[in-house]
Amino acid sequence: MCNFDKELLYSYVDETIGELEKIFVEEHLKYCTRCQNELREIRDFDKKLEELNYDDIVIPNRLFIISEQVVENCISKIENEQVSIQYSNYKEGLKVMLGIAKEGYRQIYDNPYGKKVGEKLNKYSNLIKKQAKKVCRKKLSKTRVVNTKLMKTLKVV
C-alpha cells in the first residue's frame, strides 16, 4: 500500500511543483505502479477537460439573479455589524488582503485553465464588488483611519 501524497501528483501534472519535489515524485514513480496508474488517470482526465468546450455551457439567467440576491442578503447582514477599525487591525488587514491578492493571482495564472476561470471570476466578482464597495466606504467613513493622508491619497473614501 502506497502512502504517497496524491496532491504532489496533481501538482506534478500541472507543473506547479518545486524542483526538489519534482525529483522526489519522479524517483517515486520509477518504483510505484499504483502511483504510475494514478498519474496516467490524472493525465487522461486533464486531456478530457481540455477537450471540453466551455462556451457551450449555458448559465441560466435565473442563477445569476439568485446569485445577486444571495450576495445582497450577505452584504445586508454585514452592514448591520458594528466594526471598530484600529491601526493595528487595519495594518493586519492590509497584510491579509495582500496575501489573498497574491494567492488569487497565483491560482489564476499558474493554472492551465486560468483564462476560463478568470473570465468566470470577473463576471461573478462584479456582483460582489458594487455592494462590498458601498459597505466598505460606509464603514470606513465612520473611522479615524480614513482621515489619514495615505487613505485620502489612495482615494478610499
95-109 per-position pLDDT tens digit: 777 777 777 766 666
Residues 72 and 110 grouped into a single domain? yes
User: Is residue 20 located within the same domain as residue 96?
Assistant: no
Contacts for 75 with CB less than 8 Å, ≥ 6 apart:
128, 131, 132, 134, 135
Cα–Cα distances in angstroms (integers) from residue 50 to residues 17, 54, 111, 121, in the given order:
20, 9, 12, 19
Confidence class for position 157, pLDDT limits 50, 70, 90? very low
**Which residues, other chains included, contact 90 with Cβ-Cβ below 8 Å and sequence gap of 6+?**
145
Q: Which residue range is the domain that position 109 belongs to?
A: 57-153
Domain co-membership, 91 together with 27: no
Question: Per the structure block, which three cell numbers stand in for 54?
Answer: 466551455
Instruction: Tell me what pLDDT residue 67 has.
Output: 78
Same domain? For 85 and 100 the reply is yes
Q: What integer pLDDT is reported at residue 73 of this predicted model?
A: 80
**Grid coordinates standing for 35?**
502511483
Residues 29 and 87 in one domain: no
For residue 63, pLDDT beyond 90: no
Instruction: State the chain's mean pLDDT as an integer.
Output: 74
Q: What is the pLDDT of residue 37?
A: 92
Does 145 score more than 60 pLDDT? no
Same domain, 110 and 74: yes
**φ, ψ (nearest 5 deg) of residue 81:** -75, 145
Interatomic CA distance for residues 82 and 92, integer angstroms: 18
Q: Assess whether 86 and 13 both reside in one domain.
A: no
Which of the listed ranges 22-31, 60-69, 87-96, 133-142 does the model predict with the highest average pLDDT? Answer: 22-31
Query: Do the domain assignments include residue 13?
Result: yes
Q: Is residue 125 very low, low, confident or very high in pLDDT (cuts 50, 70, 90)?
A: low
Whether residues 103 and 132 fall in one domain: yes
DSSP classification of residue 143 = S
pLDDT digits (tens, 9 = 90+) for 4-56: 888 888 888 888 888 888 898 899 899 999 999 999 999 998 888 878 776 67
- Cell numbers for 30: 520509477
Q: What is the DSSP string of 28-67?
A: HHHH-HHHHHHHHHHHHHHHHHHH--GGGPPPPHHHHHHH
With a cut of 90, say whether residue 152 has pLDDT above it.
no
In a domain, 1, yes or no: no
**Residue type at 100 in one-letter notation:** I
When divided into structural domains, the chain yields a total of 2
Asked if residue 62 and residue 47 are part of one domain, the reply reads no
Cβ(31)–Cβ(128) under 8 Å? no
Sign of the C-alpha dihedral computed for residues 59, 63, 65 and 69 taken in this order? negative
Same domain? For 101 and 29 the reply is: no
User: In this structure, is residue 87 part of a structural domain?
Assistant: yes
Higher pLDDT, 47 or 88: 47
Q: What is the pLDDT of residue 111?
A: 61
Q: Are residues 43 and 18 in the same domain?
A: yes
Residues 45, 79, single domain; the answer is no
Instruction: Flag whether pLDDT at 150 surpasses 60.
Output: no
